[in-house]
Structure 1
Amino acid sequence: MSWPIVELGSVVSFVGGSQPPKSTFKFEPEDDYVRLLQIRDYKSDKNLTFIPESSTKKFCKKDDVMIGRYGPPVFQILRGLEGAYNVALMKAVPSEKVDKDYLYYFLKQDKLFRLIDSLSQRTAGQSGIDMDALKSYPMLLPPLEEQKRIAAILDKADAIRQKRKQAIELADEFLRSVFLDMFGDIPAGFSKYPLVGCRGSVKAASGKSSKGVISDSSTDIPIYGGNGINGYATEALYSKPVVIVGRVGQQCGITTLTDGPCWVTDNAIVLEITDLKKYDAAYLAHALKHSPLRDSVKRLDLPFVNQSMILDYKIPLPPISEQKKFGSIRKNLLKHLSLQQKGIGISEDNFQVLSQQAFSGQL
């Protein structure tokens, strides 16, 4: 195949959003008003905001390819909503030479994300896209019909991948129910066990930049940011499972439990249990995950959590035997889920390999 390789910016333009004054905001739909989209709206409808349609010229449709300009994580590739969009988003507008679905999957490549993330400029805890690097990124440009064929294959693979995610979400909902039954309702402040902070039994520290350890291919050492895995490392920062809490931005307060050696970036806070007779890692992760800590800060202009907020946040302190019982339930559920998903076929890693083949002319 002799398809041309072009710079992305020569066939795609990027159009930033606008920020109408907050004085114009409404929180219920009205005539002549349009929804104002922010990055967080692609995950939840909990923060519906509407502005006068006449107050902006920056609109997007459901099939438009949108990019989160700031993070962490920077460079989120989004679609599926329509309305006006704010300054934290920009629209990728393809020329007549580029299929919109092909562009969507091209921008979602893990390799491209890692490059943009590594070059992001950090200001006041946020990171922004290096537009020169993005526009100069090489893009394989097959004929439109071939682009459509590639996008259709990736569409099917992505649909299978989404089934895996749905199964994980159902498992998470089950664990939430088990946690509530065993330990009480943390947001309501109700538990049969004392509500205390974990300071003195848990050590907190910030992660470190991953720029020097990023691997070009998948390894056994995932890199965790504020919102889960965003790459792979050549060496580990932590050798044992740890609890990770997103530190800043829209991902602050998101809690993840690792299952082995890993690297954690400076977008997250790492919790290590120092008193194993008092806390179990799986219990601690889920206690923080089900707490309203995230809800209490995400409406700030720059949402953040710090180490003291986490260590002093009051959660139930059940006997370690009860914590371990919950951990055992979680472990068995994840084992069952893993066996079930072997039949689904497309994992995140497999999808990224398929994507890499597609955009190098091997699909």
Structure 2
Amino acid sequence: MSWPLVKLGEVAKLINGDRGKNYPSKGSFVEKGIPFINAGCLSNEHTLIDEELNFITEEKFDSLRSGKIEKGDILFCLRGSLGKFALVDTNMKGAIASSLVIIRANEKVYIDYLKHYLGSLLCQREIQAYENGAAQPNLSATDLKSFQIPLPPLDEQKRIAAILDKADAIRQKRKQAIDLADEFLRSVFLDMFGDPVTNPKGWEVKPLRDVVGIVTGNTPSRKEPENYGNEIEWIKSDNINTPSHFLTSAEESLSESGLLKGRAVNSGAVLMTCIAGSLSCIGNIAIADRRVSFNQQINALVPKDSITTEYLYALMLVSKQKIQDSSTNSMKGMVSKGTLGGIEFPIAPERKQIDFVDFFNKYLKMLAQSDFFHNQSNIQFNSLSQKAFSGQL
């Protein structure tokens, strides 16, 4: 049995934030108040990240004409990390930034069923049909309204949602194990070398430019289609936001002529997001395990003789807040090549760095095992999800 397809706009109201003169500026934010939610506040587990929230006054909130959230709303990202979303499960007051849209379900759809649809491969295929290849791809609320969603009867929606909830709980436990492994890496680095901010072990402090070459990415013109082909992967920020510590595979590649206009680095470089729609994304990093090109939102750190890739990566990992603090735009986030190169870090002696390299390699073997089981959980969950939305569950 296959379920009838309806447009998302038939089962939910889509509400944009207020984009007029009352839109909160950087100067509107206060230390405590009503949450003003942007894309960086949405977790991969579809919840809100309290630590990433900005706040506005009650007066500013009252002046907004739209984009005010209610319990049961789904906040969906329209720019950058397309498809990222979070469910509002409390009666909190709040408003959304322009990068998000509110999906407010009506009586035709069960909210947990809708949540699983938005996280499904079926929805991802809809998103891919609208991706425009820009450095920061985007959708509109009108685009989202036209997405096709399978719609069984409400009782069947609830049954499907309950099954997928149980399967997802297993998958999330696997992911939590990987997250704990990431914290383990951080704690070992801090134990071996101390906090880079306070430098309790007294290592020599150097500006970053003294120990790495910094290469800023570039986006060849899309008005010249010949710039894009199959010569070399073209990395974007989404390929850097990865728990595996290495770049994920790029969806686009440059041609040989495109590479002449772009930038490329070899295996062993550390790629960092330095321009983003959200401050929380600044300082995201990943190791390149192959030669790649990359866009203008990214700087590549190429280690010189005095620093290993593994030490550099972990040093940047535990110094993310320090890097964000140097941003020149507190709402969106930007750290220039010159600013990044001037940030000072303690650099441990080579023999201590080598000790960390040995640990890091053992850690990667442990992580590979955890990744394998997590990937199996994802495969099983996606298979179950596809059966559910095609009426085979």
Question: For the superposition of Structure 1 and Structure 2, which TM-score range results when normalised by the shorter chain?
Answer: 0.7 to 0.9
> In structure 1, how many angstroms separate the alpha carbons of the residues matched to 2:74 and 2:291?
32
Q: 1:230 to 1:334 in 2, by over 3 A?
A: closer
Question: 1:79 maps to which residue?
Answer: 87
Task: Identify, as 1 or 2, the structure richer in helix.
Answer: 2
How does 1:250-289 map onto structure 2 within 5 Å?
250=278, 251-258=280-287, 260-261=289-290, 266=295, 268-271=297-300, 273=302, 275=304, 277-289=305-317
Q: Secondary structure at the match of 1:49?
A: strand
Question: 2:32 maps to which residue?
Answer: 28
Contact map agreement 2:207 2:343 (CA 8 A) in 1: yes
> In structure 2, how many angstroms separate the alpha carbons of the residues matched to 1:62 and 1:5?
26
1:355 is aligned to 2:363? no
> In structure 2, how many angstroms separate the alpha carbons of the residues matched to 1:348 and 1:259?
24
Residues 256-265 or 98-107, more deviating: 256-265
The share of aligned pairs that are identical, in percent, is 29
Amino acid paired to 1:284: L
How does 1:213-228 map onto structure 2 within 5 Å?
224-228=238-242
Which residue of 172, 176, 195 maps to 1:162? 172
1:182 is aligned to 2:182? no
Shift, 1:226, TM fit: 4.9
CA deviations 1:284-330 (Å, max 9, x no partner) are 11211222102332862331223333333222222333223223223
Amino acid paired to 2:185: L
> In structure 2, how many angstroms separate the alpha carbons of the residues matched to 1:68 and 1:287?
30
Contact map agreement 1:257 1:285 (CA 8 A) in 2: yes
Contact map agreement 1:68 1:74 (CA 8 A) in 2: yes
Contact map agreement 1:121 1:130 (CA 8 A) in 2: no
Residues 104-113 or 20-29, more deviating: 20-29
Question: 2:51 maps to which residue?
Answer: 45
How does 1:48-197 map onto structure 2 within 5 Å?
49-52=55-58, 54-56=62-64, 58-70=67-79, 72-80=80-88, 82-88=92-98, 89-110=100-121, 112-113=123-124, 116=127, 119=130, 127-188=137-198, 190-197=200-207
Shift, 1:92, TM fit: 0.7
> In structure 2, how many angstroms separate the alpha carbons of the residues matched to 1:315 and 1:348?
38
Q: 1:63 to 1:323 in 2, by over 3 A?
A: farther
Residues 60-69 or 93-102, more deviating: 60-69
Q: 1:162 to 1:87 in 2, by over 3 A?
A: same
1:293 is aligned to 2:326? no
Shift, 1:342, TM fit: 5.7
Matched positions, count:
351
Residues 197-206 or 152-161, more deviating: 197-206
Q: TM-score w.r.t. structure 1 length?
A: 0.78
> In structure 1, how many angstroms separate the alpha carbons of the residues matched to 2:377 and 2:340?
32
Shift, 1:14, TM fit: 0.6
1:248 is aligned to 2:256? no
Amino acid paired to 1:37: I
Q: 1:118 to 1:327 in 2, by over 3 A?
A: farther
Question: 2:44 maps to which residue?
Answer: none
Contact map agreement 2:235 2:295 (CA 8 A) in 1: no
Q: Secondary structure at the match of 1:279?
A: coil
Q: TM-score w.r.t. structure 2 length?
A: 0.73
Q: Secondary structure at the match of 1:192?
A: coil
Amino acid paired to 2:323: L
Contact map agreement 2:271 2:301 (CA 8 A) in 1: no
Residues 89-98 or 303-312, more deviating: 303-312
Q: Secondary structure at the match of 2:149?
A: strand
Q: 1:133 to 1:60 in 2, by over 3 A?
A: closer
> In structure 1, how many angstroms separate the alpha carbons of the residues matched to 2:219 and 2:375?
34
Shift, 1:119, TM fit: 3.8
> In structure 2, how many angstroms separate the alpha carbons of the residues matched to 1:249 and 1:44?
18
> In structure 2, how many angstroms separate the alpha carbons of the residues matched to 1:297 and 1:329?
32
Q: Secondary structure at the match of 2:75?
A: strand
Contact map agreement 1:245 1:252 (CA 8 A) in 2: no
> In structure 2, how many angstroms separate the alpha carbons of the residues matched to 1:77 and 1:101?
13
> In structure 2, how many angstroms separate the alpha carbons of the residues matched to 1:322 and 1:154?
47
Would you identify which runs of 4 or more consecutive aligned residues in structure 1 move more than 6 Å? 209-214, 234-239
Question: 2:213 maps to which residue?
Answer: 202
Shift, 1:105, TM fit: 1.6
